Structure 1
Amino acid sequence: MGVPPKTEDFVKEAATSDMFEIASSKLAVERGDDATKAFAQQMVTDHQKTTDELKALVSGGKVKATLPNAMTSDQQSMLDKLNGLQGTTSTSNIIRTRKPPMKTPSISSSAMANPELKAWAASTRPALEHHLEMAKELNK
């Protein structure tokens, strides 16, 4: 199972993942075909919810971590690539073929140190699994 992520690392990864998912999905809402737009809007809604919940845990002092102000350079590069694509088909194909991240492999780890963060991570799993199923359906 490996070593559980440090709270700070997990928060950073979860927060930057949400940032990327929201930004790339908003782009897909603007440029995608109808099926992609529906998927992307669900992604925006769900990831905004998890962002708000994570911010509340940190600002409320239940999780000791610093929230990042920006996504990672790799995520920004992918977003820049998506922004540079022209046309509905190109954007829809990129959004459809990339798999939604499952945050981290240890998201449901019973060894996660912070109980509040552990509970939050467990509560996000069903939505993340649903995103994966939605993405698979788009690719049929």
Structure 2
Amino acid sequence: MKKSIAIFAAAAVLLSSAALAQSVGEKTGVNSALGISPSTADFVKEAAISDMMEIESSKIAQQKGSAEEKKFAGQMITDHGKTSSELKSMVGSGDVKAEIPAALDSSSQSKLDKLRNAKPEDFSGQYDSMQVSAHKDAVSLFERYAKGGDNPKLKDWAGKTLPALQHHLEMAQQMEKNRK
């Protein structure tokens, strides 16, 4: 028991530095597990990469997916294209001080490559589970920023965007369930 308390205390000390907690925490999932709001820079980066990933994976689904996946993919391209434009607009106007990444990170690119190279019989399983996982992550990210983000305009936008992401998650879960 004392060992657990010591480990928890050490973790709390390490996470108390805002810059360290935000960047390392977002990368490792620690912030999500602890319910800590991401920094504005991390939120913008993660949201932008998420949008890019949704759009690109859904373009593949429109070619390789079932009718249900193609319909879902069309909505993902439309909805995530809209949020991507809104985010770029807030950053471009100077309302949000952050950088939008120009490309996917290596982890997302690897997932996209795997999806692109999936055999037809494996595609649905990969795409559907990817969508469930990605939307769980997005809901967590947006919930945490909407509750504790430090940029009021971005915080408000995250809160307004959250219901659509929750709906996407429900749709992805239903799509995965229908496949089984």
Shift of 1:123: 1.3
The gaps in structure 1 that reach 5 residues or longer are none
TM-score between the two structures when normalised by the length of structure 2: 0.72
Query: Which residue of the partner structure matches residue 9 of structure 2?
Result: none
Of the candidates 33, 40, 46, which is equivalent to residue 66 of structure 2?
33
How far did residue 106 of structure 1 move? 4.7
Paired residue type of 1:135:
A
Q: Aligned pair 1:114/2:156, yes or no? A: no
Counterpart secondary structure, 1:47: helix
Q: CA RMSD in A?
A: 1.5
Matched-pair contact (CA < 8 Å) for 1:108–1:118: no
Query: Could you say if the C-alpha distance between residues 31 and 57 of structure 1 is closer, same or farther in structure 2, counting changes exceeding 3 Å?
Result: same
2:127 is matched with: 95
Pick aligned residue for 1:125 from 159, 162, 168: 162
Give the SS at the match of 2:157. Answer: helix
Indicate the structure (1 or 2) with the bigger Cα radius of gyration. 2
Deviations 1:45-93 (A, max 9, x none): 1110100000000001110111100111110000000111132x42222
More helix by share: 2
Aligned to 1:105: 140
Contact 2:139 2:162 in 1 (8 A): no
Query: How far off its partner does 1:2 sit?
Result: 4.4
TM-score by length of 1: 0.91
The superposition leaves residues 13-43 of structure 1 with CA deviations (integer Å, 9 ceiling, x where unpaired) of 0001111111001100111010110111111
Tell me the residue number matched to 2:31. Answer: none
1:3 Cα offset (Å): 3.6
Question: Residues of 1 paired with 2:90 and 2:173: CA distance?
Answer: 32
Name the structure 1 match of 2:78: 45
Q: Percent identity?
A: 47
* Contact 1:16–1:70 (Cα < 8 Å) also in 2: yes
Alpha-carbon distance in 2 for matches of 1:25, 1:83: 11
Aligned to 2:39: 6
- Offset at 1:5? 1.2
Structure 2 gap segments, 5+ residues each: 1-33
Query: Secondary structure of 1:55's partner?
Result: helix
Asked if the contact 2:139–2:165 (Cα under 8 Å) also holds between the matched residues in 1, the reply is: no
